[in-house]
């Protein structure tokens, strides 16, 4: 069992989705030569990762002693910045990442 420290979150990173919720395969986007030329001059940002919150460390304390809970519970699906935190492996194929609470970009909800 891994228990995060203060202001840390343990995530189980999900593999990238290849199919939409309706079962349609998501194709790679094709671009034209002029658009490719523009992309060659711009640095590419890696896409963010989606993960499930496995564990949350102790809540952060303010100067007045009050505790600040994270804005998401354990089990929430979250979007996290690619390359942030420390990558861990527990079992074959299981990707874990220990990140700071501030590195979580968004909480994904069902629409």
What CATH number did the domain enclosing 78 receive?
Answer: 2.30.33.40
**Residue 97 domain-assigned (yes or no):** yes
67 occurs within a structural domain: yes
Question: Domain of 107?
Answer: 53-111
According to the model, what pLDDT value does residue 99 have? 92
Residue-wise pLDDT tens digits, 55-67: 999 888 889 989 8
Residue 87 reports pLDDT greater than 90? no
Q: What's the number of domains the chain is made of? A: 1
Domain assignment of residue 59, yes or no: yes
- At 27-84, the pLDDT tens digits run 556 667 777 777 777 666 667 889 999 999 988 888 998 988 888 999 999 999 878 8
Q: Other C-beta atoms within 10 Å of 4: how many?
A: 18
Whether 19 maps to a domain, the answer reads no
Q: How far is CA 77 from CA 67, 107, 109, in A?
A: 23, 6, 7
Q: Can you give the pLDDT at residue 38?
A: 73
Strands (E) in 1-111, as ranges, are 8-13, 49-56, 60-61, 67-68, 77-80, 86-89, 95-100, 104-108
Q: CA dist 108 to 41, 43, 66, 77, Å?
A: 32, 27, 27, 5
């Amino acid at each position: 069992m891994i228990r995060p420290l203060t202001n840390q979150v343990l995530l189980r990173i999900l593999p990238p989705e290849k199919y939409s919720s309706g079962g349609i395969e998501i194709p790679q986007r094709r671009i034209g030569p002029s658009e490719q030329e523009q992309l060659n001059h711009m640095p590419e940002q890696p896409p963010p990762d989606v993960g499930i919150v496995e564990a949350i460390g102790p809540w952060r304390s303010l100067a007045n002693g009050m505790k600040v809970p994270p804005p998401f519970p354990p089990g929430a699906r979250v979007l996290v910045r690619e390359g942030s935190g420390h990558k861990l492996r527990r079992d074959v194929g299981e990707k874990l990442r220990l990140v700071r609470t501030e590195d979580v970009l968004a909480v994904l909800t069902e629409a």
